[in-house]
A = this chain, B = another copy of it.
């Protein structure tokens, strides 16, 4: 029987902010329980350390430079195949509960005459998912704000619960109160205050309830993408989570003065932006990190609620559970905030996979340090659904062999991630063109290499000698051979076959096996050189034109 897939994604959850990953102060027993039943991948990389392109890669199984949606708000081109396109023909439904950060290719929809009113058009407009609930959160306001009440079922829920105003997401779920003012969660000084909302009405419990409602009625087999908006900023959480952690739980920042000594120009520009400057201040870290931990603690408690539902309904036995994130959060490490660059805190994500089948018994509770990419998930899901992975489209590889304790015969020896910063002020400062405002990361088990377009030197970190990534060896003559090797790999990867999406290997092999070629006889001088069958038509007939 085909199992279901519960594909849980948190937003901006750092790989090391889970107790199963070694965090000392933050206990996440519910997520840990899945790790104990499954495999925890310790070197899982997203294909771009920012929401939109990371998710588009995870949903398509393709690198950002393959699918083209290389930054937040860059639409996913019409016709680009997503999880739903692959799973539905295998008989598995593909549903969304939460966030995708997908922007529809409106010009492409119009060019192809597709309307979101049709089933096909709706799926194209929703990243291939059928929608249980879609809510991308981040309903910003202010003079340039965006807030689409039609796209916020969570706001509708809050209104139904009596929270007033146009945008209760901003005014209650992501704000506290201070005197007579709204103390907005957008301002990090408010991160230690309780959000002005009943805890059970906040985003994470609401979405968990939606997931349980979905599961209660879903037709199996299903793949459900349960996609939380948290612990992503605004950094604010309701009581009792707002003061579970305090400055005493904030670790010292993982940064070194040596990083500020002649840094790579791109890194320097990010360090010096408003976010980097803010997160280099202790007062910011001391307010934000406890709130971030509280948000994660709330997430884990909701996982407990969800997993209990699966246990009591017997679904834990027929559901594969995946827990991951779309990127991490610097939190002041490396003099940076947010994500965007390629230090482990940003580009590496938690990845836990639990498979209830007996095949996976051999690996329960283990970790795996293979170089895994987020684009491996669609391939994994296709295998679970009983399909063949179409590798002329999907660039990732199924992780199921790792769960069965079988080392794949061939596995990648480097992982890749990309970043397009063309819309940022840093591109202007660095005077790079839109196409040059791109970064490529290659990491293997020893080194991490970053190439920046635009004529800059590369960056290089020796992960074995320098696991904290403080010492950039990109300008080191001693590392020339490593850098040359990394450029060879980058070239090999960049030349990959990523767009031959209309011709499968099976089809090519069939053409190769029968090279006669549909009756065209090439390079033949005389009919005696080939089979009689091909020439019989030309014998004993003298056709004449009829006047």
Contact = CB atoms under 8 A, between A and B. Distances in A.
A80 B142 CA distance: 38
Interface in A436-488: 438, 440, 453, 487
Given A67-B499, A144-B519, A544-B164, A428 B512 contact: yes
Contact of A187 (B179, B518, B526): B526
A516 B144 contact: yes
A502 B77 contact: yes
Nearest to A75: B502
Nearest to A62: B499
Contacts of A70: 497, 500, 503
A407 interface: no
A527 B172 contact: no
A372 to B, nearest CB: 21
A165 B543 contact: yes
Nearest to A141: B519
A251 interface: no
A545 B423 contact: no
Interface stretch (A261-269, A350-358, A533-541): A533-541
B497 A435 contact: yes
Given A142-B521, A522-B274, A187 B490 contact: no
A329 to B, nearest CB: 12
A518 B140 contact: yes
Contacts of A502: 68-69, 74-77, 105, 107-108
- The quantity of this chain's copies bound in the complex is 2
A340 to B, nearest CB: 11
A509 interface: yes
Contacts of A76: 502
B500 A163 contact: no
Interface core residue of A120, A279, A519 (most chain B CB under 10 Å): A519
A196 B523 contact: no
Contacts of A171: 543
A111 B140 contact: no
Given A79-B111, A511-B423, A141 B537 contact: yes
Nearest to A159: B546
Given A181-B538, A521-B142, A424 B515 contact: yes
A525 B177 contact: no
A293 B523 CA distance: 18
Nearest to A428: B512
Interface core residue of A143, A501, A503 (most chain B CB under 10 Å): A503
A312 interface: no
Interface in A104-137: 105, 107-108, 111-114, 118, 120, 124
16 contacts: A65-B497, A70-B497, A70-B503, A73-B503, A107-B502, A112-B120, A113-B114, A142-B521, A146-B519, A164-B546, A165-B543, A172-B545, A274-B522, A276-B523, A422-B512, A423-B508
Given A142-B537, A164-B544, A274-B523, 14 more contacts: A65-B498, A74-B503, A79-B111, A85-B111, A142-B535, A146-B519, A163-B543, A184-B527, A187-B525, A274-B522, A278-B525, A423-B508, A423-B515, A425-B515
